[in-house]
Structures are given as structure tokens and as C-alpha cells.
Amino acid sequence: MDSFVTDTQALVKFMMGKKVINDRSQQAFLAADKAQSTIIIPAIVLMEVLYLFEKNRIDISLFQTEDLLRSQNYQFEPLSLEILKTASEITDIPELHDRLIAATARYLDLPLITNDPVIRASEFVGILE
């Protein structure tokens, strides 16, 4: 079974019923809903969801993501010391939250679902194309 790491924008778009970035990314989420793939949700993504919801910038709450995590096909990845050390090796993503999301994918050796141009240009993380 394939596994992928998601960034905040991709997760929120999927939860809002919108198309996620491209067909392959959309299929990864749909496959997770059918127990055919796993989507890893980094801790920093949930922190961003909380912040954006509190600022009324998105309609998806932390509690809705918690409902999603009840499925074994959506898994929470805590922010560990190992991920922080991996983030310190990523020199081409200056924004801290983005670097931590990318570091999670790199540490787990999984492709990242993202549309962020800076992350996509990084030499340190694989992207689901």
C-alpha cells in the first residue's frame, strides 16, 4: 500500500471537497478513503489548521481533522527530535512550517503532496507529481 505525506493546503482542499493539486494527488486521497493508501498528516499541518480556523481563514476545524484521523488510512505524525534534525539539513526551504512538513516527508522517505513552489523546487524532498 502506498503512503504519502500531505501539506496543509492539500489536506484542507480535500476535506472541503475540492480537487487536490493534480489528478495523482487527488487519487492518493481517494485511495486512502478506500483503504488503498495511507496519508500521513504531520503535526505542523494540524497546528496550521488550528491557526487558520481560529483566524477564520478556513472552514475546516481541528476537530474535523480528528474525525479523519480515526481512520487508520490517515495517520498523525508527531514532531520528533529526528524530524527536527532532518529539518536542519534542509537548506532551500526558508519558511519554518514548510521546512518541518518537508522534513517529515524526508524523514519518513515518502513523497509529499504539495503545490508550494518553494517546496516543489527543493532538492531535499520528493514530491508526488
Structure confidence at residue 30 (pLDDT): 93
Structure confidence at residue 21 (pLDDT): 82
pLDDT tens figures, 2-61? 999 999 999 999 999 898 888 899 999 999 999 999 999 999 999 999 999 999 999 999
pTM over 0.85? The answer is: yes
Rounded Cα–Cα distance for residues 90 and 102 (Å): 8
Structure confidence at residue 86 (pLDDT): 98
The helix (run of H) or strand (run of E) holding residue 11 is helix 8-15
Domains of the chain: 2-121 (3.40.50.1010)
Residue 102 · residue 86 · CB < 8 Å: no
Structure confidence at residue 19 (pLDDT): 81
* Angle, alpha carbons 88-97-51 (nearest 5°): 150
Residue 1, pLDDT > 80, answer no
Rounded Cα–Cα distance for residues 86 and 89 (Å): 5
